[in-house]
Amino acid sequence: MKRILYASGVALLSLLIANPIFAQEGGGDGGPSIGGWYFSVAGKGGLGDAGSADGTTIKTRDMYVFGGEAIFGKTFGRFLLGLSAEYNLFKQKTKASEVGNTNMAGSQLNVSPVLGMGAGKFLFVLKPILYSNLTAEKKTSGGDESSVNSPKMGSFAFQINYKWGAKTFIGFEYASVDYTKSDVGGKESTLKGDNIVNYSSMGVIYGYKF
């Protein structure tokens, strides 16, 4: 499903660029301004899931997701190029007893390039996630801290934002990160195949554009 959504996001962005119906003078009311700097902060909340790639090696479980994000970039007409830094908290919704007495709650830090396009009061944003680290909330049975990192190519987030006020916006985001390495007590190992760990989320955004 995440591959389909990723392909759809790329296809939608390509369609917007190619379709002259979105070529509005000055980028419209909600798109980036011509030749200016862009800076925004936003809070996010929603639902997600976490587990292994096959959903059974590490049983998939439901999660609550809360976070914050800052985007800084440069606008070129209707287009936005920038960088995103975000911090998310994943809290396990599924009872630990239903997934082998395990808990995948943790804190996630992502850094991504930002590719955006304004269309009227909408801003479409694609973020290929190049850096991500998720540190587990709970230590292992041996007392070690653990984390997963090194997102697989194709990890991404896609946003649709709508100008709500003079400086505020609301929106929707879907994100999916596949982790290919784990670190337990300072010992790193590679995750392959069914052992790749995935954290996905979808939710609403409320933000402020400076």
Averages of pLDDT over each 10 residues, the chain, 210 residues: 43 40 36 71 98 93 98 95 98 96 96 97 97 94 92 97 96 98 94 95 97
Q: Note the pLDDT of residue 140.
A: 84
Looking at the DSSP bridge assignments, the partners of residue 159 are: 125, 173
How crowded is residue 24: how many other Cβ atoms within 10 Å of its Cβ? 14
The long-range contacts involving 140-145, CB below 8 angstroms and separated by at least 24 positions, are 140/184, 140/185, 142/185, 144/184, 144/185, 144/186, 145/184, 145/185
Q: pTM of the prediction? A: 0.82
Q: Which CATH number fits domain 2-209: 3.40.50.1100, 3.40.1350.10, 2.40.160.20, 3.40.50.1820?
A: 2.40.160.20
Q: Note the pLDDT of residue 33.
A: 45
Q: Note the pLDDT of residue 132.
A: 98
Domain boundaries, the chain: 2-209
Q: 3-state secondary structure string, the chain?
A: CHHHHHHHHHHHHHHHHHCHHHCCHHHCCCCCCCCCEEEEEEEEEEEEEEEECCCCCCCCEEEEEEEEEEEEEEEECCEEEEEEEEEEEEEECCCHHHHCCCCCCEEEEEEEEEEEEEECCEEEEEEECCEEEEEECCCCCCCCCEEEEEECCCCEEEEEEEECCCCEEEEEEEEEEEEEEEEECCEEEECCHHHCEEEEEEEEEEEEEC
